[in-house]
Every structure is written in C-alpha cells, then in structure tokens.
Structure 1
Amino acid sequence: MPHEFILKNARIILENEVLTGSVLIRDGQIADISEGSMLAGEDLEGDFLTPGLIELHTDHLEGHYAPRPKVRWNPIAAVQAHDAQIAASGITTVFDALRVGLDAEADVGVEDMAVLADAISDGMKNNRLRAEHFLHLRCEVSAPDCLEAFAAIQGYDRVRMASLMDHAPGQRQFADAESYRVYYMRKLKTSEEEFRRYCERRMADSERYSAVNRKMISEACQARDIVLASHDDATVAHVEEAVEQGIRVAEFPTTLAAAAASKEAGLSVLMGAPNVVRGGSHSGNVSARELAEKGCLDILSSDYIPFSLMQSAFFLSDVVEGITLPQAMRLVSKNSAEAVGLEDRGEVAMGKRADLVRVRVDDHVPVIRTVWRQGERVI
C-alpha cells in the first residue's frame, strides 16, 4: 500500500504564484496540488508551504566541531548538532563546506576535514541526519597545501561541488588593503609588524601557487563532474578566467561589474543571505539587494547563519520592489537545485520530492513550524 497524506489549507508557494489549497504526498513525492478547501488532511491553518531550501555553501559545520582553539568535539555529535540547526531553518539539502588548503590562522587541518567528511558520510548512510548532506570543497588556491588537501578528500562519495578562492591581501574579497588590515588584525590579534610579515607571506604564496592550483583543481573537478564555483570575483578579467576554467557558479562577486559579467556569461550568481538581511556586505562589497534589483542575482546562501536563508526570501520580497515571494523563494530552492543538477527537488510541483516547509510569518520574521524531507517529518 502506498504511504500518502494531505496537507490542506496552506498558502502554497509555487514557481510563479501563491496558491491557497492542498498538497497530496505519496511515497515521498508530491502527487497532486489542488486549489481550494478539502475535508481530509492535516490543516496548516493558512500557513505558507514552501519548498525545502537548498543550501550550497555553509561554513557553519566547523564551529560545531572546533568550537574553541585546540578543542575538538565528537565529529558525529558535531555533525548532528549542525544538521539539527540546518533542518530547523527549513533547509532540506545542504552542501557542507570543508576547507581545502588552510589559512595560517586556521585551527584545523587536513585530517580534521577528513574526519568531518567521514562523519557526514556515516550519518547519511545510517539515516541519522534530518537534511540530505553533500560536500562542498572550499579550495584556498593560494595555500601551499591546497593540492595535497584536495587529493586527500576529493574522492569522498558525497563531494558534489568545489569553489576556487584566494584570500591573500589585494585579491578578490579584500581588494582594498585597508579593509583587509582591519579585518585580519582584529581576527589574528597581531602587532603591525607581525601583520606586515603575514601579508608578505600570503602574497608570495598567492603568486607562487594560485594559478597552478586553480588549473589543476578545475581540471580534476571537470573530469569527475564536480560543480565548480568561483569565489569573490571582482573584475571582468576574473569572470573571463572563471569561464575558461569551467566555472558554473559565481559565489559572492564583490562588484556589480563582476556580477553582471557573470550573469551575461551564463554563470549562476550566488550571494549571501546575511548580506540581504543586513542590507550590505560586512566587507564593504556590493550589496546583494542591489544585485537583485538589477536582475543579477540567482541564488542565496546562508553562509554563516543557517536561518538567514528562509529569512532572506521573505525579507527580499518585502523590501525590493518588483520581486515577488515566489521569485524570492526560487533564489533559495529551485535555482540552487538547477545550478548543481538536482532535478528532483527545489519546488512544490507534481513529481518532485516532498521536501516541504510549513512557515508562519510573525512581525516580518518567518517561523519554521514543520519540515518534511521526502515526505517524512524531520522537524
């Protein structure tokens, strides 16, 4: 006998409209969507029913595993804590970002990333996790150990995405030297002289390693059908380089020019949901709202605050004229799924996975009430 149930009296956020009606779920898929009231089914009392959100780049896991310098938490417990917060934020598919190539200030190493990758794979295999987890490799191409770290982890079965980034002074995210100085001196707690030597070392490493590491990792990812993303592109030249390397997603472009060039080149432009909610970038770069207004935004990522993903969709439809709630919701679901080839999810539509979220909005803030993944309630 098929397992089925009905969710009724919901404001269903479809691809292009909000429909008041009911959804029939059968064997983990959406079997029917109907307008109007029904007698049978679970009454959602007029709450919104959204697609399960899809997160492509979150740095949130590492803080659970290494919550303090030199402290390591049990990796299985750390992944479960991370997963619980992800699912409670309405995210049903998540790409967990793991470091590949380490900044000098990092308190974690290649072995730690392998431990976390093992814990994620084990959690999925043994059905311990609420969301579905994939791996996203954050490749710091300016790091001397980048290729070694990539080789150690690229073969994990859940690796589906890799981003190429360079956080050296004068590059990409911190093209302005003063912004870099303020950010990293505060983070590293160093003297001016120590910081000067640190910058010199990072710039030398970037000059020596970045180009060759970008080339080798991009070729390896294309051979294994791992989706490639650029990171913090600032110029049209950066975008041209990304296109040559087979990049499909432009993560966090720092200027309108780079975002517009990425869009024109057919890349999916991804920005941070916290940028939307805060009204701007913490690094002083281009505003995600501005990109949305100019039609240069395709995907939002929660980055470091999982709940910001759902919050940004409702917020964006409120504050940006011309962006409807269905359009904003596509930025955190359907567009994300399409960018990484997950065609079975990302929208409330017949035949798609029943990854669904019940949401109430109180004082402009969404409240996650229930989450289903493949028709099974996980929150």
Structure 2
Amino acid sequence: MTSDAVLERLNHLHPKLIDLSLDRVVALLERLGNPHHDLPPVVHVAGTNGKGSVIAFMRAILEAAGLRVHVYTSPHLIRFHERIRVAGQLIAEEELRALLEECEAANGDNQVTFFEITTAAAFLAFSRTPADVVLLETGLGGRLDATNVINEPALTVLTPISMDHESFLGHTIGEIVEEKMGILKPGVPCVCAKLPRGLRGAAGSLGISKGMQEQCREMGISLIMEGEQWGCHTVGEEMIYKVDTFQMRLPQPGLAGAHQVRNAAQAVAAVEVLQRRLNLTIPEGAFGLGMKTVDWPGRLERLKPGALSRILPDEWELWVDGGHNPSAAKALAGQIRHWRDKPLYLVLGMMAGKDTDGFLKNLKGRSRVLRCVTIPGEDHALPAETLAELANAQLLEAETASSVAEALTSLTASQPGPARILICGSLYLAGQVLAANG
C-alpha cells in the first residue's frame, strides 16, 4: 500500500472537494488527541497571492539561522509529499502513509474533506517531531479554513489579497478581506501587505477598513503594515528593506520577478517580529543567505534542460509560472515588460471558474501569440477551445494544442525566434510541466 493509494481513498470521504467548515476537522482532531495543541510556535499565513513565496523566504531565513522548521503548504506540484515538510525535510513515504492511515482509521465513516484530513495528518507529523517554528499556510480563505484551529499562533501574516474564489469567500473585496482576516487572533501581531492599488478604495487605503482596524485595536492585535511599518525597494543588485528608521541591504531575491522583492520583504518583516516574540537569534547574515538559497518551484521559473525544454531550438527559453488569477497575471506582466530582447509566446491552460478575461487582459500587449491547452487529468479544467475563444475575443492570436509538447512544437515551427515561451495559467499545469520536463 502506497500513500497515493490512501490519498485516493481519502479523496472520496466527502461529496465536495471544498466545503468550508471547522466542525469536521475539530471532531477528527479530537479523536486523534488534539495534536494541533502540541505544536511548536506557529506562523499562520493567509492571503490570495504570495503565501507560498513568503513562507519559502521565511523558511530559507530561519533555516539559514540554524533553526528547525516545519512547513505546511498546498497544493503540491508533483507529489503530495511537497505539502508537508518535517524539520526541513519533505515527509518520508512510510511516515506519510502511516499518518494517513491513522487519520483514516480515526475518522471512520464520517464525512471529511480531503484538505481537512490531510491537514490533520500534517498536525500529527508536526506534533511528533521537535522543531523551532511551524509555517502554516491556509488552503482557501481563512476564517473557516481547516488550518484555523490554531487558537494561539505566535504570529499571523496576510499577504496581498485580491478577488479569487468568489463563490466561497464573497463577491466583494471587503468580504474576501474579512474572510482572510479570520485567522487573526487576540493579542497576536499580524504582518500585513497592502491590497493592489485598484482595490484599496473598497476597503481602506491599506486594504483594511477603519472598522476592521478598530476591531483589531479592541482585540489587542498589532497590525504591522506595509507602507507604514515596513517596505522595500531595489538599487542595482540589492534589495533595501526598511522598517521605521532602520534599513537592511540584502541580495536581490533568488526567485524571479519584481513581485518577489515584495514577498521577500514581507518575509523579512515577519521573521523580525517572530524573533522578538520568541526570543530567537537570527543573525543578519541569515537574511542575506535566505535571499540566495530560497527554493519555490513553479513560480516564474526557467526550466532546466529536460524533455520539454529540449523541444525548443537553441537560444530559445522555456519558463513556467503557476499564477492563476488577474493579480498574478499583473505581477507576471510586470516582469515580462523587462523581457525586451526576445519575442514572447504563451502556452495557457486554466481551470474553470477562474477570471480568465481578467487574467488575459493583464497579459495583453505583452504577447499576442498563444497556444491553449486543456490541463490533462483535471475534472474542472477549462477546455482549450473555450480558452482560445476567450483569447481571440481579446484580439489575441490563439490556437489550441492537444498538449504542452504539441504547443511548443507548433510555436517553434511557426513563429520567429529566438524567443521565450511562458507556460502559465494554473499551478496544476505548472506541476505537470515540471514533472514532464523531468
């Protein structure tokens, strides 16, 4: 029996993939002995974009300081094991299988979502191995997310928030901000990013309304806000992190894209608050080393030589990014505008229910030529034909392809080069691309 076989069984314990509630996971955790009450100090992270990147930077800094770090993120790119990192290492196959079976047995015939029961497994793993810190990412939302059973985190973090998952979180930015803020706890500071410029008017200049700020004050929650308590900019090959009158000069982040500078700065701010809260020793050199050693695949990543990249002629480049909403596309466009030495072509695959028009509008003008694919093996993938129709309606030159490999072959045969090809639109597609490339 492999962990994949157990995961397949767990996927059928609830008729819905997403059913936001805390009741089921609380009941399961009680049957497991409440492992979430016996964790190292927790940093709880919510937001729409950048959660995983901020956690990756935090992990890199903390581990550069010699600390042991548990990490829980989702979704995975290639294998489920990527979601659970125990004291710095991806969870081992035997341990994962045993934990999943333990959770399955404790759950019995009760309904529970896949995310809820696998979150319980992560808590079990973290409770049984010593570490200094747990970095915990919400799955979707915050208030009713299965991770929001942590009543006394050491710190909360809100990364940039924008419109996404409206059918679950609300149809206005204010509603979505309120859901994400559901992870905030009395007396626990929160390191907050601003909302994107176009959305601030609906929820205050910093993305949090005056009413919400007053509620935080009443709960004793200190909001460490981007633009007020912390910020950053770049000069040459350096990132300048600023807090109050102090500044720290750091190497540019090891993840591509201008948006990663902001994510890196938020991670630095969070680690600074955390070290004061927990009386940790984080040498300044650990911050610089963390910028260099950070690892977070599938986020504006140039593919290494492999089965897919070898389809391209010499001097062509193949990139992949897992962003899937308009804000992520806007961040992509910010990087793409610096790519002026070669033409850019897109390979696009997206899930149904996403704001495809909003995604495409942010990339319009950066590339006119694209190939649309249906993400294989995903029940809710948007058909390539539908995606191409939406793209052509925006005056993009879109054609369909039966696979990513066929899309690459088509582009290299029909378009002038050398060029860059960017595969984007979905983290699920990014994971498949990384696996196919080897």
TM-score (norm 1): 0.30
Higher strand share: 1
TM-score (norm 2): 0.26
Return the structure number with greater relative CO, CA threshold 8 A, min gap 6. 1
